[in-house]
Amino acid sequence: MTTNSGAAVSLLSIRDLQVWSGAGSEATPVLRGVDLDVRAGEAIGVVGESGSGKSMTLRAIMRQLPAGFSASGSVAFRGEEVSQMRSRRLARLRSGEIGMIYQDPRAHINPLWTVGNFLTEAVVASGRFRKRQANARAQELLEEVGFRDPARQMRQYPGQLSGGLLQRVMIVAALMPEPALILADEPTTALDVTVQAEVMSIFSDVIRTHDVGLVFVTHDLDLAAATTDRMAVMYAGRVIEAGSSEAVTSRPAHPYTSALLASRPSLHRRHVPAGIPGHPALAAGVADACSFADRCPFVQSQCRNTDPALRLVQGDSTSACLRVPEIREQLERIDA
């Protein structure tokens, strides 16, 4: 395995990932060049509003785009280009190396098969484990995520478990084949707020004990900051800021991130959360201008002439704002 970037070995490396809906002259962009790196055992949060391209990025990684969508750019898993994989290799990637957790466990688990079957089917079918081993591992993992009587849960049907419990089952399913990376698409959004916290803490615990890389897609900035090492903020089909979670939330380097942070309610301060004027830009509506220009309080004429690339700001933080150096201090003050 070789890396040409020179940095630590990337588990997952996405470069200039573009996704288009439709074909030919009708094609509209959905992702406009996403760059993202996940190192082994590292948790990356991907945050952004609905329609910013978070889920589409996950789908593109798994090469599971909806009908009529096409992708270009590079998605490399351990240096191996996913788009070049033959179907057998791809099946091995999906069944054994990358696990997936969905937003709505109820819809993503076949209600007619038992939990035990759901957990063991893929790993047994792919030849990774024998039936007996798979059962043992499933029970072990169920216990790890807090089920007291795993043998009984294995015999239950999804309809007999609550949403929170079912999401834990989903976490176990993702961990079953000992994957190197887990993609989680808003795993707690469909859950009750109290259950959310519980599931999330179990989730981040098992992710750490099993030393699995994580791409965690969420709307929730605070949740992402609390559970991930690094964060990428997406807007209109691009990553506009990336850096350590701590840096992104305390020293934002993009006006959009800073505005997002200011729009959160706070337990500690009495203030009215500040909204962001206007509507989220669509990836399709942006051309040769900063996608956030229309809503940005720091906008200047230069912002409307080029779509700024991600540039290194400080440490390993990157930002796609032309004016970062000048306005950095003001950005941080917004959330002060």
Look at the block and give the residue holding tokens 């004990």: 209
Among 300, 333, 101, CA closest to 322: 300
Site for another protein in 163-182 (CB under 8 A): 173
Closest separation in Å from C-beta 203 to another protein: 18
Longest dimension (CA), the chain: 66
Asked if residues 28 and 22 have their Cβ atoms less than 8 Å apart, the reply is yes
Instruction: Give yes or no for residue 274 binding another protein (CB under 8 A).
Output: no
Element of type H or E holding 205: helix 193-209
Instruction: Give yes or no for residue 217 binding another protein (CB under 8 A).
Output: no
Asked if residues 83 and 63 have their Cβ atoms less than 8 Å apart, the reply is yes
**Which positions from 60 to 89 touch another protein by CB under 8 A, shown as an x/- string?**
--x-x-x-----------------------
Closest separation in Å from C-beta 133 to another protein: 17
Instruction: Give yes or no for residue 107 binding another protein (CB under 8 A).
Output: yes
3-state class of 78 per DSSP?
coil
Q: How many CB atoms lie within 10 A of CB 2?
A: 5
Select from 111, 277, 278, 297 the one that contacts another protein (CB under 8 A): 111
Select from 72, 79, 80, 113 the one that contacts another protein (CB under 8 A): 113
Instruction: Give yes or no for residue 102 binding another protein (CB under 8 A).
Output: yes
Instruction: Give yes or no for residue 190 binding another protein (CB under 8 A).
Output: yes
Distance CA 257, CA 235 (A): 10
Distance CA 115, CA 155 (A): 6
CA 315 to chain centre: 22
**Nearer of residues 92 and 264 to another protein, judged by Cβ:** 92
**Nearer of residues 217 and 313 to another protein, judged by Cβ:** 217
List residues near another protein by CB under 8 A.
Answer: 21, 62, 64, 66, 91-96, 100, 102-104, 106-113, 121-122, 125-126, 158-159, 173, 190
